Chain A
Amino acid sequence: MARTTLEHITKVFTDDNANDIVAVDDVSIEIEDGEFLVLVGPSGCGKSTTLRMVAGLETITDGRIRLDDRVINDLPAQDRDIAMVFQSYALYPHMTVRGNMAFGLEESTDLPDEEIDALVTETAEMLGIEGMLDRTPDELSGGQQQRVALGRAIVRDPDVFLMDEPLSNLDAKLRSQMRMELQRLQEGLDTTTIYVTHDQTEAMTMGDRIAVLNDGKLQQVGTPLECYHRPANLFVAGFIGEPSMNMITGTIDGDAFVSDEFTYPISADLAAELEGVFDVTLGIRPEDLELSTEEPEDSRALSMIVDVVEPMGDENVVYLRFDSGDVGIDDDQLVLIATIDGISDIAGIDRVSVRIPEEALHVFSTETGNAIRNRRLEGDVERVV
């Protein structure tokens, strides 16, 4: 177990035409001992490359990676005392489950065979695969292979677990079950874990903290709720949360926000906060939009048309658009997404008033994408967590 520190790490690949491609750009993260950190981002954002640099499978172009106080930049992968779970599991097909799990201990430690065998059996029992120890991987189901891959990492009792999208090959039901089990295991083992995923649900539910990456650059590191309620910029705001945050671009004109579709009056407090900025993007979470069938009673409510309703059971996802005459699909047209209670019957209603509460508004600078103001919550986010 160890504190893992990434200091300004950078990875530059050179392609066949001698062009430099910056995969990871100056990323610094400190991962506490026993912490579960999720690296999340869209594909190609450099999250896997970052993980592979920690594993020693990629060289580090610039920066330092430390485990506690030792710098491991130049340490080969086999000497780093880390264990990795691969997306494809990478089980050794010619070995039994027992062989697969024992391999790491045999190669990285001097433990006697009986002790290794006892550790393997113990770990297998913990994962519920003790009955499969003498089978080969091709005789196991996807979920069982996944457990073996986990077991192979756990049995090593390493300083750090690295997991590269370990659940992405499982079906949805099994994935949510394994998500829960993985969290339980990690809490019990208390081993520092770096977990890479593109799935924001996994990021939100599993991590102690989330590190959001985009284009090789670190966007934000924080607890899941911090990232959700206090996104540092437009990218994090749009990436975290399902359905995504509504974004409305426009300008600040005195005490009002003006967009192509509507004018939204802002309070004096907010206007003071936005002093000096002109081009802004308003962000509002779908669950914060207030829908009602009554006529708009104040100027913070907009009259909109219900376009599509997706009933999810627990909630309805409502796609709203402004009355612009033509019904055709138009990418430029502003569409707001609202989530409302699943019980409420919205079928047959085609015009609603949509109220945007000011306390739930996020304001971003359109130019830099950085957050200027995040939503107000009763009590601080930290206390909510």
Chain B
Amino acid sequence: MRSRARHARSDDGGCDGRADRPASLADAAENSPDASALRSDGGVAGETAITDDYERTRLQRWRDSDFVQSVPFWLPPFLLMGFFVYAAIGWNFLISLTEYSGFGDIDYSTIGLHNYVELVADAGFWAATRNTLVLLVAFTLACLVLGLSLAILLDRKIRFERTFRTIYLLPFALSFIVTAQFWMWMYNFDFGIINGLFGLVGLGPYSWLGSPRLVLGSVIFALMWQFSGYTMVVYLAALRAIPGDQYEAARVDGANTLKLYWRVIIPQLKPATVSASVVLVLFALKAFDFLYAIWGFRPRRGADILATKMVREAFQRQEWAYGASIAIVLFILSLAIIAPYLYQQYTQGNL
């Protein structure tokens, strides 16, 4: 509702802008039935003149409409987006219905859902879907919890707060290729620092990136390390927006520190949680580059997600149509996650 009201207001603003020009003022007068009736009563102009006048004003009215006036601003990006994003998605969907593979031209004569039928029967697809969902849920939750804890600790007016903030946020600024590379070294079975540390307490060595049971956890941990700085910054901004008297009121009301955060502060961080979650989830769905940087086309069993499987099917095995169908599934998953968020933002008037 609120957003609609705002739209209406901005429309008014547009009208005000145009009202400066005498032409549209005249339009306004002529558009009203009373005005034209007055004119014919007065007999100032003949019948045909009135029709001509009316034609002209309709053209002018069309030219002066908000729609036409705003075309130069939205049409170029609309066409660019339409062609390179939405047309590409449409074309991708079309390819997913064919049997296109290897080199050669696409044969659009045999259109059908056979690729999707094949997907349902493919155990590798289900494993990749399961891994994608596990990665998505575990990674998002871990980042939120860790980011929130760091933000709460940093918000307690500690010394060197800015320095800590920069240190925690820094990994987020690094390329995934870089972080993947050095996590690969840290996870190294023989020389890695992780196994070195576990060795100190008499555990391991573990094959962090080799064992199907550990590999997904290792990846999630590395990604969490990189992304929790981001959630921390989002939460820190939200915490700063909560007035200090909320804490004081809760204290005077008898709440201990745990209850204070759990019942008064954290519930007020809900908008920050939602927006951080959307970013994290969308990233988790596409955590391709990180995995590709570690293993190339063939991740360990247990770490294959839809994105890596898609790229492998398409670019390694040249099963273009099959890869395209995985892409569509990934697209629908992303859409399913972002659509409720966008809708909620829309109803709250933030879009």
Contact = CB atoms under 8 A, between A and B. Distances in A.
| Chain B associates with chain A | yes
Interface of A: 55-57, 76-80, 82-84, 86, 88, 90-94, 103-104, 107-109, 152, 156, 162
Contacts of A90: 243, 245-246, 248-249
B256 interface: yes
Given A88-B243, A90-B246, A83 B264 contact: no
Given A94-B267, A94-B270, A82 B243 contact: no
Given A94-B268, A94-B270, A104 B254 contact: yes
B263 interface: yes
Nearest to B251: A77
B270 A88 contact: no
A343 B267 CA distance: 59
Nearest to A103: B253
Contacts of A78: 251-256
Interface in B272-301: none
Nearest to A81: B254
B259 interface: yes
A56 B270 CA distance: 29
The 3 nearest A-B residue pairs measured at CB = A108-B254, A104-B253, A90-B245
User: Which of B246, B251, B259, B263 lies at the interface centre, i.e. has the most chain A CB atoms within 10 A of its CB?
Assistant: B251
Contacts of B251: 56-57, 76-78
Contacts of B255: 78, 103, 107
Given A56-B252, A83-B253, A107-B253, 15 more contacts: A56-B251, A78-B251, A78-B256, A79-B254, A82-B252, A90-B245, A90-B246, A92-B246, A94-B270, A103-B255, A104-B252, A107-B250, A107-B256, A107-B259, A156-B253
Nearest to A149: B249
A111 B246 CA distance: 24
Interface residues of B, number: 18
A94 B263 CA distance: 10
Given A93-B268, A94-B267, A94-B268, A107 B245 contact: no
A191 to B, nearest CB: 15
Given A92-B264, A94-B267, A94-B270, A84 B259 contact: no
Contacts of A103: 250, 253, 255, 263-264
Nearest to B263: A103
10 contacts: A55-B248, A76-B251, A83-B252, A86-B249, A92-B249, A92-B250, A92-B268, A103-B250, A109-B254, A156-B253
B270 A77 contact: no
Contacts of B250: 92, 103, 107
User: Which of A57, A78, A88, A93 lies at the interface centre, i.e. has the most chain B CB atoms within 10 A of its CB?
Assistant: A78
Given A93-B268, A107-B259, A77 B252 contact: yes
B245 A86 contact: yes
Contacts of B256: 78, 107
A328 B252 CA distance: 54
A15 to B, nearest CB: 15
A202 to B, nearest CB: 20
A90 B250 CA distance: 9
Interface of B: 243, 245-246, 248-256, 259, 263-264, 267-268, 270
Contacts of B263: 103, 107
A86 B248 contact: yes
Contact of B248 (A57, A76, A109): A57
A128 B195 CA distance: 67
Contacts of B246: 90, 92
A103 B249 CA distance: 10
Contact of B252 (A55, A91, A92): A55
Contacts of A76: 251
Nearest to A76: B251
B252 A107 contact: no
Contact of A84 (B243, B252, B264): B252
A148 to B, nearest CB: 12
B245 A88 contact: yes
Nearest to B249: A90
Contacts of A77: 248, 251-252
Contacts of B267: 94
A88 B253 CA distance: 16
A78 B264 CA distance: 14
A92 B270 CA distance: 14
A94 to B, nearest CB: 4
A156 B252 CA distance: 11
Contacts of B249: 84, 86, 90-92
A92 B268 CA distance: 9
A270 B270 CA distance: 71
A212 B259 CA distance: 37
A104 B248 CA distance: 12
A77 B254 CA distance: 7
A38 to B, nearest CB: 20
A122 to B, nearest CB: 18
B157 to A, nearest CB: 13
A238 B263 CA distance: 47
User: Which of B243, B253, B256, B259 lies at the interface centre, i.e. has the most chain A CB atoms within 10 A of its CB?
Assistant: B253
A107 B243 contact: no
A78 B253 CA distance: 6
A318 to B, nearest CB: 43
A156 B249 CA distance: 13
Contacts of B254: 78-79, 104, 107-109
A77 B253 CA distance: 8
Contacts of A84: 248-249, 252
A90 B254 CA distance: 15
Nearest to B264: A92
A152 B249 CA distance: 10
Contacts of B253: 78, 83, 103-104, 107-108, 152, 156
Contacts of A57: 248, 251-252
Contacts of A56: 251-252
User: Which of A84, A91, A162 lies at the interface centre, i.e. has the most chain B CB atoms within 10 A of its CB?
Assistant: A84
User: Which of B243, B263, B270 lies at the interface centre, i.e. has the most chain A CB atoms within 10 A of its CB?
Assistant: B263
A261 B269 CA distance: 66
A151 B46 CA distance: 76
B329 to A, nearest CB: 37
Contacts of A82: 252
Contacts of A86: 245, 248-249
